[in-house]
């Protein structure tokens, strides 16, 4: 039987620190104040900007919709940047040929 990985762990072992750094860079470009030492704290600033009450600890009152809005802001920005980077790599590769 295949071993299940945690939903919150990166697919590539050891990539967590680099992903956190990438998240900090992307969210800073999006205009959020991000501490490079604690990039996961940006979710509180995103929540605040969306008017969603998010606090450290138990957020049992948080609806799935609101949690998705927070994660969508962060994940969406990261995906857009990854696509932009991949497109740039393709252009650079084409220019080398």
Residue-range definition of the domain harbouring residue 31 = 16-96
Residue 11 lies inside a defined structural domain of this protein: no
Residue 86, in any domain of the structure? yes
Per the CB < 8 A criterion, the answer to whether 2 and 54 are in contact is no
Q: Tens digit of pLDDT per residue, the chain (97 long)?
A: 555 555 677 888 888 889 989 999 999 999 998 888 888 889 999 999 999 999 888 888 899 999 999 999 999 999 999 999 999 999 999 888 7
For residue 51, the surrounding DSSP H or E stretch is none
- Does any domain span residue 2? no
In a domain, 85, yes or no: yes
Residue 82 lies in a domain: yes
Residue 1 lies in a domain: no
What Rg do the C-alpha atoms of the chain give, in angstroms? 16
Domain annotation covers residue 31:
yes
Is residue 10 in a domain?
no
Number of domains in the chain: 1
């Amino acid at each position: 039987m295949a071993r299940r990985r945690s939903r919150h762990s990166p697919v590539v072992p050891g990539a967590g620190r680099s992903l956190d750094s990438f998240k900090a860079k992307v969210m800073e470009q999006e205009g959020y104040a991000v501490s490079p030492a604690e990039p996961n704290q940006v979710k509180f600033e995103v929540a605040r900007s969306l008017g969603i009450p998010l606090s450290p600890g138990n957020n049992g009152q948080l609806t799935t919709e609101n949690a998705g809005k927070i994660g969508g802001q962060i994940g969406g920005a990261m995906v857009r940047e990854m696509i932009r980077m991949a497109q740039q790599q393709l252009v650079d590769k084409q220019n080398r040929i």
